[in-house]
Structure 1
Amino acid sequence: MKRSVLAGVFVTAAMLASPVFAAGNEADLCQINLNRINDNKVLLATDTSGKRGEIDTAVSQAKAAHASGDEKKCIEITTKALQDLKNLDKGGNP
């Protein structure tokens, strides 16, 4: 009986602490994505499709979302921008 109560306490504590860790991870992921976009801007040097302007706009929007604390929006924007860069690297049309 003591083991199951103790296990229940640990599970409950872990579940209650999860949202706190998730918020920190979102901020980290947002910043990581922004860094990855910055690192991959080399791909835009020879871009003739007009994606450079779209990526720059996305970065500005993501930074604004990050500054306002809307990490989910920042992640959404940066993930799409990274996908566009990946497609551009493959030579495809994003």
Structure 2
Amino acid sequence: MKRSVLAGVFVTAAMLASPVFAAGNEADLCQINLDKINNGKALLATDTSGKSGEIDTAVSQAKAAHAAGDEKKCIEITSKALQDLQNLDKGGNP
């Protein structure tokens, strides 16, 4: 009986802690994406498509969302900016 109660306590604690870890992962992913964009800005030095300004604007918006605690919005914005950077790297038209 004591084992099942103890197991139940551990399972409950793990389930309650899961959202905390998920929120932390979102913040990490937001910051990781911002770092990747910052590292990829060398591609923008030769950009003639005008994407440089769009990506700079996206970074500003993502940082504002991150500061406001809206990690999902930050991830959404940075993911699109990373896709645009990848398209520039491939020579495509994003």
TM-score (norm. length: structure 1): 0.89
SS, match of residue 63 in structure 1: helix
Question: Cα offset for 1:87?
Answer: 1.0
Corresponding pairs, count: 94
Question: Cα offset for 1:76?
Answer: 0.6
Question: Cα offset for 1:69?
Answer: 0.8
SS, match of residue 74 in structure 2: helix
- For residues 5-42 of structure 1, the C-alpha deviation after alignment (integer angstroms, 9 at most, x for no partner) is 54443332211101111111111111111111000000
SS, match of residue 24 in structure 2: helix
Spell out structure 1 runs of 4+ moving beyond 6 A: none
Single out whichever of 45-54 and 2-11 deviates more from structure 2.
2-11
Alignment of 1:4-83 (within 5 A): 5-83=5-83
Measure, in 2, the Cα distance between the counterparts of 1:73 and 1:27. Answer: 11
Question: Cα offset for 1:92?
Answer: 1.1
Percent identity reads 90
Measure, in 2, the Cα distance between the counterparts of 1:93 and 1:9. Answer: 54
Measure, in 2, the Cα distance between the counterparts of 1:7 and 1:58. Answer: 46
Single out whichever of 16-25 and 56-65 deviates more from structure 2.
16-25
RMSD: 1.4
TM-score (norm. length: structure 2): 0.89
